C-alpha cells in the first residue's frame, strides 16, 4: 500500500510543505507546496490529505490558494481544502477541464502513488495575486503542461516555479510535455532575474539565475545534439542511448508516460503552445 510523509519547514517569510509518497517505507516521488502571507501555492496529493490539512491548521492565516498547474500531486487536496476553509483555488483557465473529471486522465501508477482526488471547483486566476504585504505576478509558463503558471514577487525577487524548473538537467520527460514551450518559458522567467526560486521539486534555490541558465544551456545543447544525431543518420533510439545512456526504467514503471524516449521525441515535435 502506498503511504506518504509530510513536514513543514520555515524559510524566512516563506513556509515549505514537503510531501513524499512512499511504498514499504521507500520514498517514491516528492513535491513541495508553499505558503506565504496568507497565500497557499498548490495543495499536494490526495494520499497525504489528513496530514496536509493538519499542517494547514498550523499556518497563521489562509486567504487564498493557487495551483501552478492541474497535475494531481499539486491539486490533490483542493476539494478538501475548499470544503474545510471555504476557499476556491485559483488556476489557469485551461485547468478547469482537467479538474472537472480527474479520474479520466490519471493513469494507474499515478493512482497508486498519489491517489485520485474528487472533482473540484476553480476560479480563474488574474494577472496578479495581491496579499497583505506582497504582490505576486502571474507568469504563464507552458511546457510542463499547457496550463502551467509561475508566481513572481518583484520587490522580493521571489519566483515560485512549480514544475517549470525541476532540476538543472533532466533525462526523463512526460509524454505530453512541450519541450520547445518549456525552453521559451524558462527564458521568460530568466528575464525576470529572480533572486530566490521556490521549486516544487528541488525546494528553495538560492542562486536561481545560474540554475535556470544551466537548465536552458542543457536543453539547448541536448537539442543541438539530437539534430546532429539525425543528420548522422542515427535513429531516435540510437540518439537516446548515446545522449541519455542505456536503460529507461521510468518508461516501464509509468507505462511510457515518463521516459528517456519522450525526452528525445519531444525535440522532434513542433511546439503546441499558442
**Residue 272, number of CB atoms within 10 A of its CB:** 13
pLDDT tens-digit readout, 164-183: 999 999 999 999 999 999 99
What is d(CA 211, CA 235) in angstroms, rounded to the nearest whole number? 31
- The three grid cell numbers given for residue 89, joined into one nine-digit string: 483555488
What is the predicted pLDDT for the residue at 2? 57
CB 215 within 8 A of CB 185: no
pLDDT tens-digit readout, 116-164: 888 888 999 999 999 999 999 999 999 999 999 999 999 999 999 999 9
What is the predicted pLDDT for the residue at 118? 86
Residue-wise burial string across 177-189, b where 16 or more C-beta atoms lie within 10 A, e elsewhere: bbbbbbbebbeeb
What is the predicted pLDDT for the residue at 255? 85
Query: CB neighbours of 56 closer than 8 A, spacing ≥ 6?
Result: 40, 62, 81, 84, 85
What is the predicted pLDDT for the residue at 274? 46
What is the predicted pLDDT for the residue at 214? 98
2-167+177-218 maps to CATH 3.60.15.10: yes
What is d(CA 57, CA 138) in angstroms, rounded to the nearest whole number? 26
Q: What is the pLDDT tens value at each position of the chain, 274 positions in all?
A: 456 889 999 888 999 999 998 776 776 789 999 999 999 999 999 999 999 999 999 999 999 999 999 999 999 999 999 999 999 999 999 998 888 877 777 777 788 888 888 888 899 999 999 999 999 999 999 999 999 999 999 999 999 999 999 999 999 999 999 999 999 999 999 999 999 999 999 999 999 999 999 999 999 999 999 999 999 999 999 999 999 999 898 888 888 899 999 999 999 987 565 4
Question: Alpha carbon 33 to chain centroid distance?
Answer: 10
pLDDT tens-digit readout, 257-267: 999 999 999 99
pTM metric for this prediction: 0.94
DSSP assignment of 4-21, as one string? EEEEEEEETTEEEEEEEE
What is the predicted pLDDT for the residue at 5? 87
Count the alpha carbons within 13 Å of 95 in the hemisphere toward its beta carbon. 26
Amino acid at each position: 500500500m502506498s503511504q506518504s510523509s509530510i513536514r513543514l519547514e520555515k524559510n524566512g517569510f516563506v513556509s515549505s510543505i514537503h510531501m513524499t509518497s512512499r511504498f514499504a517505507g521507500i520514498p517514491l516521488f516528492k513535491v513541495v507546496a508553499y505558503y506565504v502571507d496568507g497565500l497557499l501555492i498548490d495543495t499536494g496529493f490526495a494520499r497525504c490529505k489528513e496530514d496536509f490539512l493538519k499542517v494547514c491548521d498550523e499556518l497563521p492565516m489562509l486567504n487564498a490558494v493557487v495551483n501552478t498547474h492541474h497535475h494531481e500531486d499539486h491539486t490533490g487536496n483542493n476539494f478538501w481544502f475548499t470544503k474545510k476553509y471555504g476557499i476556491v483555488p485559483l488556476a489557469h483557465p485551461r485547468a478547469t477541464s482537467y479538474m472537472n473529471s480527474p479520474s479520466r486522465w490519471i493513469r494507474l501508477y499515478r493512482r497508486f502513488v498519489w491517489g485520485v482526488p474528487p472533482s473540484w471547483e476553480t476560479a480563474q486566476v488574474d494577472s496578479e495575486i495581491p496579499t497583505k504585504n506582497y504582490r505576486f505576478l502571474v507568469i504563464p509558463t507552458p511546457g510542463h503542461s499547457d496550463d502551467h503558471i509561475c508566481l513572481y514577487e518583484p520587490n522580493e525577487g521571489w519566483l515560485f516555479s512549480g514544475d517549470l524548473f525541476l532540476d538543472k538537467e533532466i533525462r526523463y520527460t512526460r509524454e505530453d510535455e512541450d519541450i520547445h514551450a518549456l525552453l521559451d518559458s524558462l527564458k521568460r522567467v530568466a528575464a525576470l532575474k529572480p533572486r530566490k526560486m521556490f521549486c516544487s521539486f528541488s525546494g528553495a534555490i538560492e542562486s536561481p539565475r545560474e540554475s535556470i541558465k544551466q537548465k536552458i544551456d542543457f536543453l539547448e545543447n541536448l537539442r543541438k545534439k539530437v539534430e546532429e544525431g539525425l543528420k548522422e543518420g542515427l535513429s531516435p533510439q540510437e540518439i537516446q542511448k548515446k545522449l541519455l545512456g542505456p536503460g529507461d526504467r521510468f518508461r516501464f514503471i509509468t507505462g511510457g508516460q515518463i521516459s528517456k524516449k519522450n525526452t528525445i521525441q519531444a525535440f522532434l515535435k513542433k511546439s503546441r503552445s499558442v
